[in-house]
Structure 1
Amino acid sequence: MSLGILDMIGIAGTLIFALPVGIFGVEQIAAGQVSLGSTLIMVAALMILLPQRLLTPKDIPLAMSKRLIDTVVTSSKEQSVDHTDTTNESDVTVEKSK
């Protein structure tokens, strides 16, 4: 997965809030409160993972355009593999001179 600069800044902001929750969960497990500690660790993990996996309304057009571009690129690659001429014959002129 390729992350841009803004995505990395977003992850850093999420980590600012998720790390203290996770550390507190580890401390609670060490203190003997396993259920509370494991719940807090799970919450911290979900704080990091859910924004990466869920689509927001602003992500839907981007995902659709990527899928469309992949389809167009794949179909043009298939045509070139099938040796289908995709050029316009009127644009290509070859002259032999002796």
Structure 2
Amino acid sequence: MYRHTQEALNGLKTEIKACKKYVDLATQQAQKGNVGNAIQFLEIAQTARTCANQAHEALWDLSKGQLSDDAFDRFCEAETLSQVIHKAHKAIQQARF
């Protein structure tokens, strides 16, 4: 999928940004009581997380573990996306009850 370290890093940045954006949108919709919309945004966020995980692995493989400071920061940020998504899940659960 990715052929170069910079390409993987750019992909990782894009997917992290997308994941967080759609988690925020899902949370906002849940807080407004729009559970259906919240779930749709959450599904997009989960897809972005999957893509971020792929870029995360590619970045590690292509860099052979030798990451720049920026790449390391994004690498670590990608590892927190599950917790970010969990917050949206909680907001949706609260909106349902």
Task: Give the TM-score band, short-chain normalised.
Answer: 0.3 to 0.5
Please say which structure displays the higher CA radius of gyration: 1
Q: TM-score, normalised by structure 1?
A: 0.41
Q: TM-score, normalised by structure 2?
A: 0.41
